[in-house]
Every structure is written in structure tokens, then in C-alpha cells.
Structure 1
Amino acid sequence: MLLSPSASPAAHTALAPSPWICRWTHLVPDGGTVLDVACGSGRHMRWFAQHGHPTLGVDRSPEAIAAAGAFGQTLQADIESGPWPLDGRRFAGVVVTNYLWRERLPDIVAAVAPGGVLLYETFAQGNETVGKPSRPDFLLAPGELLAACADELRIVAYEDGFLAEPDRFVQRVAAVRPLQPPVSAASGPMPPAPARHLLKP
């Protein structure tokens, strides 16, 4: 479910890109295509287009897609009720912000190309104490985002906790798919970097 359905496309476009996305943009291979899942009106598509990346935005809202089309290719699709529309396609960057539909987490991770990066940030448990979203369906459990990535991707950075102005609880990850799989299955997944926690003052 889109977490901000009441926001107008124009208002969403005017929002600055997430600082987390900006911080880790350099991990996306130069010139690689970036997929923005639940792209809204394209604030992150605009950011990556400005940094030389072709972009593809997916959203179920025709109004959002119409606005996002100014920054790259778009695809209107309901990824919650219908099939994953990008089966078999992989991208240099996959971006998700303020969106959670658990059934799609494996598809989102699988969409990261070898050498590509997943940049994901959304609300976590605890957010119900400070505002919306407050339903458990839309709040990540402790360590859930990390666990969704760790078997296939190398964790570069991970944060889980409280942020102020506006007050919110979030999890966010930057994770890279290795160019080659581990030498043997016995070696297991690559170990994640130590988790960095944001602490509520």
C-alpha cells in the first residue's frame, strides 16, 4: 500500500530526495538504470536523472505516473494485486522509500543486478507511538529489512531506530549484489556490516 495516498503529485515532486538515498547514490554504477518502486511523482527519479542515470518508475497511481514521466520511463502497475511486472529484469539501482508490501520484498531484492545496489528506507515498529503509518502491516519488525537482504546482498550500511523532524521510526539499508556469487555454498552469505542504530534521545 502506498503510504501517502493523500499527497498530490505536485507536492510529492517538490519534496527533496531522501538524505539516505543521496548519501549512497555513489554506489550505483555510472550510467546504470535505476528502478524506483512505488515512485510516486518521481522525486528520486529526478535525483538520479540529474546524476546521469536512466530511470524507470513503477506506481499504481495514474496521476503519479503522469508526473514521474518527466524524469524517465514509467510503468503503471498494481504490484500488490497483480504479478510483479518486471520479472527477470535487473537494475543497477533499486530504490524504495516509504513503502512496504512484504510479498514483494523477494522480487525487489532479485531486481538488483550484479554490482548493483538496493537503497531502501521505510517505517518501522515504534512509528505507531509518534504518528502514521501505525498499522503493523506497514511497519517493519526489528531486523526485518536486514534479513530480507542478507542472503543475497552485501550489506554496506543499515540503520534501525528513531529520527526527528519529523519524528518517525525507520529502517534503512544500502546493500550491493556481489559481481560473483560466493565460491561455494558452504561459505554461506557474506556477513553484514555491523548494524548502526539511531537512538531516541
Structure 2
Amino acid sequence: MFADRSASALEVVAQRLFDGTLPGRIWKVDLEQAETDPFAGQSFSAIIGFRYLHRPLFPALKNAVAPGGLVVYETFTTQNLRFGRPNSPNFLLQPGELKTIFQDWELIFYFEGVLPNPDRAMARLVARKPG
């Protein structure tokens, strides 16, 4: 499932789905405006998130992953301030924050640092839910 609040972003994904190059379905949702848990009643074998941070969503995200399932996550850290955008603290992880959020899961991969071309400061994680 591909989730985004942007209809135009989902339209690009939908074209790939319909031409058979990607399996899955699309879900137009604003995860930051949902009045209730947007994942309620759903279970996923994996959730993948890139360049997105809305801290209040993490408990629901973790709950929506099936036991033994994975989270793959990558987003910017506070070190990114020296490179430009994003520059709001709301969109930047503190040092070690992502690792701490998933401290009760099996950590398969973790990276936190600067990546080149273009320069950006990121945290990357692959974690498996216990069970």
C-alpha cells in the first residue's frame, strides 16, 4: 500500500500500479490530520517511510506492524541544519531518536550520519517487531 496526502504523488504511483510494474494499492490519507488512529484495524508485514517525520504517529505505526514484521525508515536529523531544508525541528530527528523509538524491537540495521550527493544528514533504520 502506498500512502500519501498528495493526490498528484499517488497518481504517479497509480500509473505504475496499473501498468503492472508495481504491486499494491494506493491510500490517500493525511496522517497528520487523522482524528483517530489511521492504521486502526490494519496489520502490515512491513511499513516503509522515507523523508517523513510526524512523531505522534510512531505508536500507531509500531502497533500496525504484525509480529515479526519490519519497519524500514529514513529521515533527516538535526545535523541537516547545515545543509538547508528541512530546517524545522518538527521534521528533524534528534541524535539517536529513531533508534530509541524502536529500542524494544530487533535492530537489523542502523545508520546515522551524513550522506553525499547531495549532502544530507539522515538516520536510517531497519527493525523487526518482536513475536
Which TM-score band (shorter chain)? 0.7 to 0.9
Q: 1:97 maps to what in 2?
A: 50
Aligned-pair identity in percent equals 37
Counterparts of 1:126-165 in structure 2 under 5 Å? 126-151=79-104, 153-165=105-117
Larger RCO: 1 or 2 (CA < 8 Å, sep 6+):
2
Determine the C-alpha separation between the residues in 1 that align with 2:5 and 2:62: 20
* RMSD, aligned CA: 1.2
Moved over 4 A (4+): none
Shift of 1:159: 1.0
1:65 aligns with 2:10: yes
Counterparts of 1:1-201 in structure 2 under 5 Å? 56-69=1-14, 70=17, 71=22, 72-82=24-34, 83-151=36-104, 153-179=105-131
Shift of 1:85: 2.2
Aligned partner of residue 108 in structure 1, secondary structure = helix
Contact persistence 2:106–2:129 (CA under 8 A): yes
Structure 1's unaligned 5+ residue stretches are 1-55, 180-201
Alignment coverage as a number of residue pairs: 123
| More strand as a share of residues | 2
State which structure, 1 or 2, has the greater radius of gyration over its C-alpha atoms.
1
Determine the C-alpha separation between the residues in 2 that align with 1:175 and 1:81: 26
TM-score scaled by structure 2? 0.87
Determine the C-alpha separation between the residues in 2 that align with 1:128 and 1:93: 30
